[in-house]
Amino acid sequence: MRATLNTTFRSLAVRNYRLFATGQLVKLIGVWMMFTAQDWLVLDLSGNSGSALGIVTALQFLPVLLLTLYAGKLADRYDKRHILIGANAAYAVLAVVFAILVASGAVELWHVFVFAGLLGTANAIETPVRQSFVSELVGMTLLPNALSLSAATFNIARVSGPALAGLAIATLGIGPVFLISTVLAISPVFSYLRMNAGALVRTGLTTGKNAKGSVLDGLRYVWTRGDLLLVIVVMAVVAMIGFNFPVTLAVLAKVSFGAGAASFGLLTTALALGALGGALAGSARTARPSIYSVLLPGVAFAALEVLVGFAPTFWAAALLLVPTGFFMIFFAQAANQRVQLGTDAAYRGRVMALYVLVFLGTTPIGAPLAGWWSELFGPAVSIALGGAVSLVAALAALAWQLRRSGERLRLTWRPIPRLSVVAPRVTAAEPNVTVA
């Protein structure tokens, strides 16, 4: 047990990473409390409109679509820590103003739209910079573990935030939830200020006037790297169509199952509990994951999402959301690790900006679609349809990879069920064939 714990949490031995993880955990609990309260507020203000919820979610992520690639250029050119301090401070100020507006009782639906866009702008700058900053905190050796722990931190907040928000809404009302979340939002600023800048790992980086690479240079780099491009294309489809639970779960809880705010928080918590397990499951990884470590969990996630859509009861949906969350994050984290560990340091900011663009920036397209589908066909059908499209994309990518490499999958049942990849046979006429 001690060896397992030491392996799982070894990145926390680095002081700068401990500060980073602590600041993110505190902030993200507040963020998820705000998101949960905001979803409930939008439904109240709009008369349970799934489309309105989709619009708010889209506005949160539209700045990602517009600004993320530029933020990646900034990350490759300037001090990431300084950028993160400024972006988090801006987010905290905006959150305070929004919370005061909600607590005063004067909030209207258009106010929510405006602040969703403003808060999304701060996140659009912060997210790709933060993603590429992790390697500077721990170096490449510990990067897989640090990324998994970062995902675990995100999902601990995702578990506790909605649960706390559901209870707080039921007992205190929506206004106090927003006020609490603003107090927590400032935490990362203090964490970054307390870091030892001299201990950051910046080997291979060029900053300031010497870093003249453009956004187009980063895109050309990815285009020439088929191993990165396949992951990013699959993630673009799955993130846009399959990762719309912030829209669909709220409507599913309130409209399909007639549940209250606390029960909606339970559905989100079930998804996040599984996601936390998926993040911790990838923490023992010490090397770059294979393409199959990305695609096979993607297939499992999509199939489970289809089953969630067909769940007959609230509790059946809650139970299915646990393994769905597990494979969702196991897939997303393996994709993140494969991209980061396969990218040159000089391009990491721009490549991770592109990854964040397809991971979050496609939400302005997918969220309104999910909201529209939920109004036309019901939230259950919307969830199942998102899973079906994601399943087709993941299976198509898997088939393409197997055909390209000549490999095949083999399922064995003894001593335990196991799916393995079998390399193509090397014949005497082809002694130098290598496996992709």
Q: What is the pLDDT of residues 75-126, one digit of tens each?
A: 888 888 999 999 999 999 999 999 888 888 888 888 989 998 999 899 888 9
Distances (CA, A) of 48 to 101, 163, 250, 296, 312: 21, 21, 10, 36, 21
Mark 267-281 as b/e (b = at least 16 C-beta within 10 Å): bbbbbbbbbbbbbbb
Q: What class has domain 9-194+207-422?
A: mainly alpha
CB of 339 within 8 A of CB of 228?
yes
Residue 340's nearest CA partner among 239, 224, 225, 195 is 225
> What is the pLDDT at residue 427?
52
Domain ranges of the chain: 9-194+207-422
Q: HSE of 159 in the Cβ direction (CA atoms, 13 Å)? A: 18
Spans of the chain below 70 pLDDT: 1-7, 159, 203-213, 259-264, 284, 361, 364, 425-436
Q: How far apart are CA 49 and CA 38, in angstroms?
A: 13
CB of 413 within 8 A of CB of 431?
no
Q: How far apart are CA 58 and CA 41, in angstroms?
A: 16
pTM of the model: 0.73
> What is the pLDDT at residue 210?
44
Structure tokens at 182: 């603003």
> What is the pLDDT at residue 212?
57
Q: How far apart are CA 363 and CA 326, in angstroms?
A: 21
Residue identified by tokens 């405006």 is 114
The CA-based angle 279-348-151, given to 5 degrees, is 15
User: CB neighbours (10 Å) of residue 259?
Assistant: 17
Q: What is the DSSP letter of 352?
A: H
Q: Is the peptide bond before 417 cis (omega within 30 degrees of 0)?
A: no
Q: How far apart are CA 97 and CA 299, in angstroms?
A: 42
Residue-wise pLDDT for 168-198, tens only, equals 887 887 888 888 888 888 899 999 999 998 8
Query: What letter represents residue 18's amino acid?
Result: R
